[in-house]
Amino acid sequence: MLKEGSKAPVFKGVDQNGKEISLEYFKGSKVVLYFYPHDDTPTCTNQACNLRDNYSELTKRGFKVIGVSTDSVKKHKKFETKYSLPFSLIADEDLTIVNQYKVWGEKQFMGRTIIGTKRTTFLIDEKGIIRKIIAKPVSKKHTEEILVAWDGQ
């Protein structure tokens, strides 16, 4: 895992609308960069909908929200449309970004050890520094976790 206080790895990817997204585009803004396993699964949907439902509060506080999973652009578009998600979802099918952020690897799922994306959120400041890392976020309370983590620094 990366450490709080270190420079966030710069990445480029394509979102659900075919738009190139780079961390560089968000310099000067606070960024919620959240990694999740798969679109349209129960916990991932709860997390995305929690961020959607609280999106105006997050943007009011100056946050930009970016989701990343290893699903395809097409799958992200379907997920965004189904749940009216107002933020970018980057398709990382080649595992570049999940590897940069050290969130790809062994994890426990339903009593088994599997390889996949570890649900993790990075709060990145205006200068590109990781201010907080939320490992294993609580999906239905994720926005609250973000705001408490940011305000508590």
Give just the sign of the alpha carbon dihedral 94, 97, 101, 107: negative
* SS3 letters across 25-55: HHCCCEEEEEECCCCCCHHHHHHHHHHHHCH
Q: Please count the other Cβ atoms lying within 10 Å of the Cβ belonging to residue 6.
A: 10
Q: Which residues are catalytic?
A: 44
Q: Please count the other Cβ atoms lying within 10 Å of the Cβ belonging to residue 93.
A: 13
What one-letter code names the amino acid at 54?
Answer: N
